[in-house]
């Protein structure tokens, strides 16, 4: 039996909501707006071809990223490497203890396009080529964006999320 878009969306909505919260750095209103845009885009793709040839979740993640990145002002679409203070890698046991809302607060120190790259590659495990294509950057640009991971991890382990020394690379 063929599942409706709504049925399939229900199974993916939690992950999409978490992704939207990360992308918007925890801004609830922006998260809801982004989800509405991505859902509308996904519905159009589903109506056109049922999203054949790809997983529903992956297709919806791409809709989310394209809506997020497409809504960025030109100055936030710049590809720049992290130039802030260098921090040691945190202890993995310490990271397991981080509450989910700290992920979103810490995302505030990362420029928006780099935040999108981190979400795709680090948190959703997308291959570099697919993430670069979705963000409309080349592989070198994606690699530069991913260097912001150091600032994000520093903010995460510090329990922060304010735009401190970790964010000066913007």
Q: What is the pLDDT of residues 96-143, one digit of tens each?
A: 777 878 888 889 989 999 999 999 998 899 999 999 999 999 999 999
Residue 114 and residue 146: Cα distance in Å, rounded?
A: 6
What does pTM read for this prediction?
Answer: 0.82
Q: Could you tell me if 49 and 67 are in contact, meaning their C-beta atoms sit under 8 angstroms apart?
A: no
> Which is more confidently placed, 17 or 153?
17
42: number of CA atoms within 13 Å, CB side? 28
Q: Could you tell me if 111 and 163 are in contact, meaning their C-beta atoms sit under 8 angstroms apart?
A: no
Q: What is the mean pLDDT of the chain?
A: 84
């Amino acid at each position: 039996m063929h599942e409706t878009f709504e049925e399939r969306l229900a199974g993916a909505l939690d992950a999409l909501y978490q992704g939207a919260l990360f992308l918007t750095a925890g801004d609830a209103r922006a998260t809801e707006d982004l989800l509405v845009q991505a859902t509308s885009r996904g519905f159009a793709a589903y109506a056109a071809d049922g999203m054949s040839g790809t997983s529903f979740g992956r297709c919806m993640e791409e809709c989310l990223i394209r809506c997020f990145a497409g809504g960025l002002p030109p100055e936030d679409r710049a590809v720049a490497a992290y130039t802030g203070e260098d921090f040691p890698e945190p202890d993995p046991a310490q990271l397991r203890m981080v509450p989910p809302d700290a992920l979103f607060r810490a995302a505030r120190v990362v420029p928006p396009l780099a935040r999108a790259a981190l979400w795709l590659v680090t948190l959703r495990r997308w291959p570099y080529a697919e993430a670069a294509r979705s963000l409309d950057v080349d592989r070198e640009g994606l690699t530069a964006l991913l260097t912001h991971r150091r600032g994000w991890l520093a903010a995460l382990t510090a329990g922060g999320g304010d735009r401190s020394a970790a964010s000066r690379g913007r």
